Amino acid sequence: MAVLMLLRDHADKDLRIQTDSAYVIGVCTQWKKSWQRKRYWKNESEQFSNLNIIIPIHHLLDSSSRSIEFIKVPGHDKQNRFPLNTHADKLAKRAAVKAKEAQNEVLFTS
């Protein structure tokens, strides 16, 4: 979700996106063409998860002429060498707790 929001909110800028998620990097880079070619189906009966987020990300990446780089950073960085990632983790945890307390699912609408 954060990548989608970032791509939408900064459509005119070159980006260096730091994440501790190998899944996010894979979805946005190495798996993208294969998933698109398969029309987002894992097999004959099962589609990939989170397509309401992934497909718009792929569209934005494909239609962009800017430089977008994904950088893997360590998660749970106790030395805080990547303070933006540490802060993003804290915000995500806080949002998850609030959603659970409110017994609400966190939803995204475009």
Query: What pLDDT is recorded for position 108?
Result: 53
Average of per-residue pLDDT across 3-16: 94
18 close to 84: Cβ distance less than 8 angstroms? yes
Residues 85, 16: Cα–Cα separation, whole Å: 13
Residue 23 lies in a domain: yes
Q: Is residue 110 part of a domain?
A: no
- In the predicted model, is pLDDT for residue 30 greater than 90? yes
CATH of the domain at 14: 3.30.420.10
Provide the domain count of the chain.
1
Question: What digits encode the pLDDT tens for the residues 12-23?
Answer: 999 999 999 999
